[in-house]
A = this chain, B = another copy of it.
């Protein structure tokens, strides 16, 4: 029953901040064509004001009172980038007192996957850009480098045991496309035959009747995800 009357107000140097404030940060993963292949990219926005003005940062912001965390993440995702994420999962909560020089601000980090080739961003006034995960800016605002590193680690892990790769593809896809997603995320080549057998046995994809014609090779069959909207295997509702 520790109840403080003074609400957190732009605390930091001021003596008024009794409790940490809270916000969300979203690591948005996408797939971008690169040569005859693709690369894994993340979306960063340029900070306009202090602290870290001019540096690139993860999209995010405040959590309103009465607003759920995932709801807040979706809101910032949409208003800052115009993107709809098909997949959104809580990552970790970063709460080091010195991660924001102004005040003790806790960030609940999420990561999102957006399907297709998200080249055009419906951005607002903010400058936003996709960065290859292999060529990130040297310095990012706050502890965003650490958040990103963790998100990448989690995605690479998760792709090994959960059906999360579809979320980066359009509704229908060939097995080659799906395999390429895995290859890009894991950063290594996979055997086409073994990959096919594994994913077919897992029952997570369903063959379509249509094929892709026009290639200089045998026309591949199109597949779709067996159960659309696959969410995290255990989703706390709160």
Interface residues of A (CB under 8 A from B): 1-11, 13-14, 16-22, 48-49, 61-69, 90, 92-97, 99, 103-104, 106, 108, 143, 146-147, 150, 153-154, 234, 236-238
Contacts and interface: CB of A to CB of B under 8 A. Distances in A.
Counting every copy of the chain, the complex holds 2
Contacts of A62: 2, 4, 19
A104 B238 contact: no
Nearest to A93: B93
Contacts of A95: 63, 68-69, 108, 238
A146 B237 contact: yes
A106 B93 CA distance: 11
25 contacts: A1-B48, A2-B62, A3-B14, A7-B17, A7-B19, A8-B19, A8-B66, A10-B66, A19-B21, A19-B22, A19-B62, A19-B63, A19-B64, A67-B104, A68-B95, A68-B97, A69-B95, A92-B236, A93-B93, A93-B108, A96-B238, A99-B238, A106-B108, A150-B236, A153-B234
Nearest to A97: B66
List 4 A-B pairs, minimum CB-CB distance, nearest first. A69-B95, A7-B16, A96-B238, A94-B238
Contacts of A69: 93, 95, 106
Contacts of A234: 150, 153-154
Contacts of A13: 3
Contacts of A4: 14, 62, 64
